[in-house]
Amino acid sequence: MRSYSRILPPVTAALVTLVLTWLVGAIPTGPDVSGARFGIFMMFLLPVPFVVSLAWGTALMTVPSRGLVFLVGGAWLLASLALQPGELTWQMAGNALAGLGAGWALASRWRLDWALGIVAVALLPTLIWSTLQLPLDAQMQDFTDQALEAQRELLVGTADERQVELSLAKEARKLEAVSGVLLRIFPGLLALGVLGQGGLILALIYWVTRRMRVAPAFRSLPPFTRWQLPFYLVWILVAGIGLVLTRQADLVTAGLNIVLVALLLISIQGVAIQGFVTNSLMSGPVQIVFWLVMGFLFIPLLIISGILLGLADYWLDIRRLNVPVSPEQDEDDGIHDDDPDA
């Protein structure tokens, strides 16, 4: 019975991945698929990568032999390539590898930034491939054409043909400018998306294995209000600014994306500081109202203030996190961990 319990989690993960690969491959695509049916299919597809990653990450953390999990994973890959060869199998393999990386990092009690890094590396090839299959410029052109066509339908009958064309031309210039900006910062947005997906995968595996009570002890995180991100983000920001200052087109674009990613990550630390302050000054109900108002009405202000506070905190230590409170307090250069076993 014990031998069955050891092999059951990876075999279950393999079967789940096989079934999901077959189901995704069976979804019809093309012009014959109506908008309503396409929406239903997309609702099914969205959680599939997370389910695959969760299955393999959980399997890795619930069996004593990691080698057995990778052996079953290799058998799944061969079986999937035999049953349904093509890009879909490799996409699922990327999701499975991300789950295995997340499970390995959590079981090994890695720091959060290291864990995010290994999961992001596993996810990145699949996301880059999907982007190449449907280039962003083609997507933006389709969106622009549809927006202009909808605008034309609204204007027809309300103005003469010349005024309609002038209005459409003005709208086309605006959409072209927005498309140009999005194309320039798309690598940064892709990097943030990969990190966000990796964080969600880690959180799901962490939560499920905790609920199962079969996971080893984790490297715990402090409350969000005590988060302090690694200082190397400042050096990444400086490197991005340096590339921007070269005034070479390609280097400037790379620098802009690096600056975007670094600043948005640093803003997380700034938002944690704002949470620390609101906890000290406001009651629970007032805090809920404050964050709802900020989240819905003042998102740019929240991000900008988060960036400024996050940068200042590296030198001012606004929350006094680096002041020793007790001999047991854990201090490191990354995200602080309130785990006495760390």
Angle at 262 between CA 271 and CA 273, to 5 degrees: 15
From the list 52, 193, 218, the residue with the least C-alpha distance to 136 is: 193
Burial 266-299 (b: 16+ CB within 10 A, else e): bbbbbbbbbbbebeeeeeeeeeeeebeebeeeee
Give the pair of three-digit tokens for residue 148. Answer: 């202009």
CA 57, distance to chain mean position in Å, is 17
| Low pLDDT (below 50) residues in the chain | 1, 329-342
Residue 156 phi, psi (nearest 5): -60, 130
176 token code pair: 């072209």
pTM across the whole model: 0.79
What confidence score (pLDDT) does residue 198 get? 92
Element at 183 (helix H, strand E): helix 161-212
Residue 159 pairs in a beta bridge with 156
The count of C-alpha atoms lying within 13 angstroms of the C-alpha of 313, restricted to the half-sphere facing its C-beta, is: 29
DSSP reduced 3-state for 323: coil
Give the residue among 22, 102, 6 at the shortest CA–CA distance from 54.
102
* Sequence-distant (≥ 6) Cβ neighbours of residue 230 within 8 angstroms: 113, 333, 334, 335
The predicted-structure confidence for 302-336, as pLDDT tens digits, reads as follows 889 999 999 999 998 888 887 765 555 444 444 44
The residue ranges of every structural domain in the chain are 2-132+189-212, 224-316
The one-letter amino acid at 159: A
Which pLDDT does position 55 carry in this prediction?
93
Residue 219, amino acid: R
pLDDT (0 to 100) of residue 99: 93
Q: Dump pLDDT digits (tens) for 138-188.
A: 777 777 777 777 777 777 666 667 776 777 778 788 878 878 888 888 889
Residue 227: CB atoms within 10 A of its CB come to 21
Q: Is 53 exposed, middle or buried (0-12, 13-18, 19+ CB in 10 A)?
A: buried
Average pLDDT, the chain: 81
For residues 162 and 335, give the distance between their C-alpha atoms in angstroms, rounded to a whole number: 60
pLDDT for the residue 97: 93
CA 267 to chain centre: 16
